[in-house]
């Protein structure tokens, strides 16, 4: 497995149609695998006692935002900067393998990696053991995306990724 | 559970903490939280010697997700070679 570890968080505002908070994809010109080993999710601000489904899915294109965010290098400070592309607060959606998410997050389909119904006042953390990470192929712009929705809530939510590449 | 891999933690609104073991489907990577006694039927691939998520497609045959990833990468390399007009 490759060596350097990275981290970044994505944010977005809950809307009735799922709007992604984060996308993490392979560099378009230098293909490399991504090994996603930790995910953190939750709402921020003053969330009400409501529940949303949070979905982490495979994507084949990163979507777009105000601009890709530089990811934090967690290991050796002299290590290589992340080649992966990370977007937060996406303005156009990533291309999810699970295309049924466009009709609602409650519809399960191939391409789902993680689907959790979570109270807005709760937090979620998942950690993979070595060798148990989610893997994205070294294929241009493939990777992961995370999204949630709610019919009425308008609080912000966060999805954080830790990965190696 | 012997094959549980990962660890998930949920803090609920009332201060409680719920922990669960997780495993990843060996055929599609879907993450399953292990809840003993839930009654949910999953699957097991004897060729991979690992559990599956229980979706019919994942239970019907053996198609490990790493094989899919390698196939995707091979297609990508072929596509790039065709774009360049020669094969290295």
pLDDT tens figures, B60-85: 999 999 999 999 999 998 988 888 87
What is the model's pTM? 0.91
Q: Does B3 touch chain A (CB under 8 A)?
A: no
User: Count of alpha carbons within 13 Å of A30, Cβ hemisphere only?
Assistant: 6
Contact yes or no for A113 and B66 at CB 8 A: no
What pLDDT, on a 0 to 100 scale, did the predictor assign at position A102?
59
Size of interface A-B (CB pairs under 8 A): 73
Q: Say what the ipTM of the complex is.
A: 0.86
pLDDT, tens digit (0-9, with 9 covering 90-100), for A54-95: 999 999 999 999 889 999 999 877 888 999 999 999 999 999
- Residues in chain B, pLDDT under 70: 1-4, 86-88
H or E element: which one contains A47? none
pLDDT for residue A103: 59
């Amino acid at each position: 497995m490759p060596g350097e570890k990275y981290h970044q968080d994505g944010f977005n505002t809950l809307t009735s149609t799922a709007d992604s908070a984060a996308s993490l994809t392979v560099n378009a010109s230098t293909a490399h695998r991504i090994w996603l080993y930790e995910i953190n999710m939750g709402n921020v601000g003053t969330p009400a006692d409501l529940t949303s489904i949070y979905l982490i899915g495979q994507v084949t294109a990163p979507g777009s935002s105000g601009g890709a965010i530089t990811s934090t290098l967690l290991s050796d400070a002299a290590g290589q900067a992340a080649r992966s592309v990370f977007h937060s607060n996406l303005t156009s959606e990533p291309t999810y393998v699970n295309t049924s998410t466009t009709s609602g997050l409650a519809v399960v389909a191939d391409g789902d990696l993680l689907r959790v119904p979570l109270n807005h006042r709760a937090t979620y953390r998942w950690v993979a053991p070595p060798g148990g990470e989610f893997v994205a192929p070294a294929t241009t712009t493939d990777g992961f995306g995370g999204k949630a929705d709610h019919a009425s809530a308008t609080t912000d939510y966060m999805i954080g990724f830790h990965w190696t590449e | 559970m012997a094959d549980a891999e990962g660890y998930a933690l949920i803090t609920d609104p009332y201060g409680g903490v719920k922990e669960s073991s997780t495993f990843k489907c060996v055929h599609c990577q879907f993450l399953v939280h292990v809840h003993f006694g839930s009654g949910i039927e999953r699957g097991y691939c004897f060729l991979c010697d690992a559990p599956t998520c229980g979706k019919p497609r994942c239970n019907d045959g053996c198609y490990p997700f790493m094989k899919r990833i390698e196939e995707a990468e091979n297609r990508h390399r072929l596509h790039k070679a065709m774009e360049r007009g020669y094969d290295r």
